[in-house]
């Protein structure tokens, strides 16, 4: 009898224990389903390390840019060069005065010898003889608008602006720091003599002293193929195009505006 009672008590105790544990488990599951798990918030991290330095490219070849180191005296200009350049300007001026006086009025007076010397000293390269002869005839042209332009839209620049253009382009070339740009985009021995007002120039290449004429596009590169070989030839071809109405520099022909100014029109 005692043994039977004890057995009942043991069985009841086991049932109670199982029931309590089951209830705690269900309660725990209920709490877990109703309350989201608590997480530790992320703490932002801040680096105190210095940013990695940027590497600036540097030219490893001679850019030809040596400002302030140009010759302190002009090379003699041959009489034949002066006569040929002067004859081309005579023809241009004669046509402008008759047909496009507004453009004729934009031609500046001659530069002085001192101004020409100062310019070549500043840009660090000797000015070609034909450019010296041209500057001693006209120190560029004033303004844009109705001003005179060499075909198709390059205004001759003054001695002061030659120095400014050369300085700006050399600074840009060195800043780019790409060796392949030297000579293909600009070179310190290029002498700018006309500009379109948008960063593009006509220049004379003095790397070998031949003064070969070329054009520089600030978004592209230099081009020699479509241009006459020299400034003198460009002046002569310009004069011929004005006198005949013919094409020059790949198809540009002179036209006169209502303001009696010269423009260049491209016609196929």
Task: Inform me whether the pLDDT recorded for 33 exceeds 50.
Answer: no
pLDDT of residue 267: 77
CB of 245 closer than 8 Å to CB of 254: yes
Query: Chain centroid to CA 212: how far?
Result: 22
- Taking a C-beta distance cutoff of 8 angstroms, is the pair 241, 247 a contact? yes
The pLDDT of residue 211 is above 90: yes
Q: CB–CB of 70/124 below 8 Å? A: yes
What average pLDDT does the structure give for the chain? 85
Question: Measured between alpha carbons, how far is residue 156 from residues 108, 150, 261 in Å?
Answer: 10, 7, 16
Report, as an integer, the average pLDDT of 142-147.
86
Q: State yes or no: pLDDT of 208 exceeds 90.
A: yes
**Distance (Å) of CA 57 to CA 32, 54, 66, 169, 179:** 62, 10, 19, 17, 9
Q: Round to the nearest angstrom and report the end-to-end CA distance of the chain.
A: 129
- All domains in the chain, ordered by first residue: 79-266 (3.40.1580.10)
Higher pLDDT, 7 or 50: 50
> Averaged over 95-111, what is the pLDDT?
98
pLDDT of residue 40: 46
Query: How confident is the model over 144-152, as a mean pLDDT?
Result: 92
| Max CA separation in the chain (angstroms) | 150
Q: Lowest-confidence range among 24-33, 64-73, 139-148?
A: 24-33
């Amino acid at each position: 009898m005692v043994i039977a009672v004890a057995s009942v008590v043991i069985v009841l105790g086991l049932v109670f224990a199982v029931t309590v544990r089951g209830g705690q488990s269900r309660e725990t599951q209920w709490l877990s389903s109703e309350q989201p798990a608590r997480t530790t918030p992320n703490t932002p991290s801040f680096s105190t390390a210095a940013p990695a330095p940027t590497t600036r490219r540097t030219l490893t070849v001679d850019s030809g840019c040596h400002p302030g180191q140009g010759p302190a005296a002009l090379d003699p200009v041959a009489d034949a060069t002066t006569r040929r350049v002067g004859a081309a300007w005579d023809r241009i001026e004669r046509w402008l005065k008759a047909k496009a006086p507004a453009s004729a009025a934009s031609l500046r007076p001659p530069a002085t010898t001192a101004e020409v010397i100062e310019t070549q000293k500043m840009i660090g390269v000797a000015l070609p003889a034909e450019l010296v002869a041209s500057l001693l005839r006209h120190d560029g042209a004033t303004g844009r608008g109705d001003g005179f332009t060499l075909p198709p839209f390059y205004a001759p620049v003054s001695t002061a602006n030659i120095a400014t253009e050369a300085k700006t382009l050399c600074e840009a070339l060195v800043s780019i720091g790409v060796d392949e740009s030297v000579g293909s985009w600009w070179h310190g021995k290029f002498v700018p003599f006309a500009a379109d007002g948008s960063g593009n120039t006509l220049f004379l290449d003095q790397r070998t002293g031949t003064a070969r004429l070329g054009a520089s596009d600030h978004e592209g590169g230099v081009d020699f193929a479509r241009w006459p070989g020299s400034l003198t030839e460009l002046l002569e071809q310009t004069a011929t195009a004005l006198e005949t109405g013919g094409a020059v520099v790949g198809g540009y022909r002179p036209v006169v505006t209502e303001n009696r100014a010269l423009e260049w029109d491209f016609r196929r």
